[in-house]
């Protein structure tokens, strides 16, 4: 019988199940392992993980690796769980259910237990499904940061690329709440969904006459702002569709820009990086993750924000590998959630 530590009403084992990436690989081959339960510093919470929300970035890094990782590496960034250990006087208290976006540079959250600084979590409101809360951080926070960087306000025109993706779904709704006129791109089969979320106009991103059709609806002035969730060649195209000195928030690596385009459009380019809050060791930025988490939880709880459709994923290496590969294959509009523990 393994020895245990008794903490309040919780019994915490010495070891835990986890899903790890043995090394980066194109197939996203993962492994089920047994690891020690992490030790916490004074300002850290020990959390029993309940749900983990999967994101495309999880699959991308599983293939390419990340410069800060040592292997084997526990995957996963978005989670909900219950605090089972906290130093005296630290909030949230033991027994609280919390949501957070974890540091990309540290071990992830696809494990039965994990640790996180207390100032980076958000406490779930009563009545909110914890599985729903687990899908909010990465996509929801990226959407909120993008809109803040663009300073979206009433009457602005904004183009949201990938409107049916999770970031796009949140961005459309929050942009409408701020009074913007929202244009979005999506595959034709997802136009109904994107319009139901509040987009004023939706365009098929596979349409060879996309720019021509956008200009016909928008007029000659160009967009005030763009949220570019796609990257690559579409980034330059989107800048072409913006007004002079318009703003663009980019969620993927920037391409090499044609200097004539830069000179003619003089765009204000912002890079959106949730992981930067951790990698820059910015306490203020990490606390802001908590504030945004509170906003997302409130919106989901009171129905102001519609969340993407959930798909349950089993807590084992093969199921998570299959789920991540499915996300990267494209065309997936919902969110996948791993049920780690009841």
User: Within a domain: residue 310?
Assistant: yes
pLDDT reported for residue 2: 41
User: CA angle, corner 308, sides to 307 and 314, nearest 5?
Assistant: 115
Whether residues 76 and 44 share a domain: the answer is yes
- The CATH number of the domain holding residue 196 is 3.40.50.720
256: DSSP letter: P
SS3 196: helix
Phi-psi region at 85: left, alpha or beta (left = phi > 0; alpha = psi -120 to 50)? beta
pLDDT tens-digit series, residues 214-230: 999 998 889 999 999 99
SS3 337: strand
pLDDT tens-digit series, residues 264-297: 999 999 999 999 999 999 999 999 999 999 999 9
Nearest to 51 by CA among 140, 112, 116: 112
179: DSSP letter: T
pLDDT over threshold 90, residue 135: yes
Nearest to 177 by CA among 291, 305, 290, 301: 305
pLDDT over threshold 70, residue 242: yes
User: Within a domain: residue 276?
Assistant: no
The separation between CA 68 and the C-alpha centre of its own chain, rounded to angstroms, equals 19
CA gap 1, 74 in Å, rounded: 26
pLDDT reported for residue 46: 97
CA gap 158, 184 in Å, rounded: 8
Whether residues 258 and 329 share a domain: the answer is no
| Average pLDDT score over residue span 135-160 | 97
59: containing domain: 4-135+283-339
pLDDT tens-digit series, residues 47-63: 999 999 999 999 999 99
pLDDT over threshold 60, residue 40: yes
Domains held by the chain: number: 2
Q: Return the percentage of the chain with pLDDT > 90, whole number.
A: 89
| Average pLDDT score over residue span 101-112 | 97
Whether residues 319 and 266 share a domain: the answer is no
């Amino acid at each position: 019988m393994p020895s245990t530590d008794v903490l309040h009403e919780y019994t915490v084992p010495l070891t835990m199940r986890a899903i790890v990436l043995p090394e980066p690989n194109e197939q996203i081959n993962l492994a089920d392992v047994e690891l020690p339960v992490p030790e916490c510093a004074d300002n850290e919470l020990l959390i029993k993980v309940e749900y983990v929300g999967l994101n495309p970035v999880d699959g991308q890094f599983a293939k390419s690796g990340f410069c800060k990782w040592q292997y084997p590496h526990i995957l996963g960034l978005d989670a909900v769980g219950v605090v089972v250990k906290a130093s005296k006087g630290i909030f949230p208290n033991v027994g609280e259910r919390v949501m957070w976006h974890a540091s990309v540079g540290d071990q992830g959250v696809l494990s039965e237990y994990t640790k996180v600084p207390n100032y980076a979590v958000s406490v779930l409101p009563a009545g909110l499904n914890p599985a729903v809360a687990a899908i909010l951080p990465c996509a929801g926070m990226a959407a909120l940061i993008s809109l803040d960087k663009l300073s979206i306000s009433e009457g602005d025109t904004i183009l949201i690329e990938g409107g049916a993706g999770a970031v796009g779904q949140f961005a459309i709704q929050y942009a409408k709440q701020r009074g913007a006129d929202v244009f979005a791109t999506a595959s034709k089969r997802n136009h109904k969904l994107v319009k139901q979320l509040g987009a004023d106009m939706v365009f098929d991103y596979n349409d060879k006459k996309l720019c021509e059709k956008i200009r016909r609806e928008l007029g000659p002035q160009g967009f005030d702002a763009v949220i570019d969730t796609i990257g690559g060649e579409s980034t330059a195209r989107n800048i072409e569709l913006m007004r002079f000195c318009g703003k663009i928030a980019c969620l993927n690596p920037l391409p090499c820009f044609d200097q004539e385009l830069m000179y003619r459009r003089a765009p204000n380019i912002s890079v959106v990086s949730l992981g930067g809050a951790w990698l820059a060791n910015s306490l203020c930025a990490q606390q802001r993750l908590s504030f945004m988490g509170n906003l997302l939880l409130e919106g989901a709880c009171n129905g102001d924000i519609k969340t993407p459709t959930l798909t349950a994923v089993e807590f084992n290496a093969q199921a998570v590998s299959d789920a991540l590969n499915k996300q990267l294959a494209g065309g997936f509009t919902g969110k996948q959630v791993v049920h780690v523990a009841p």
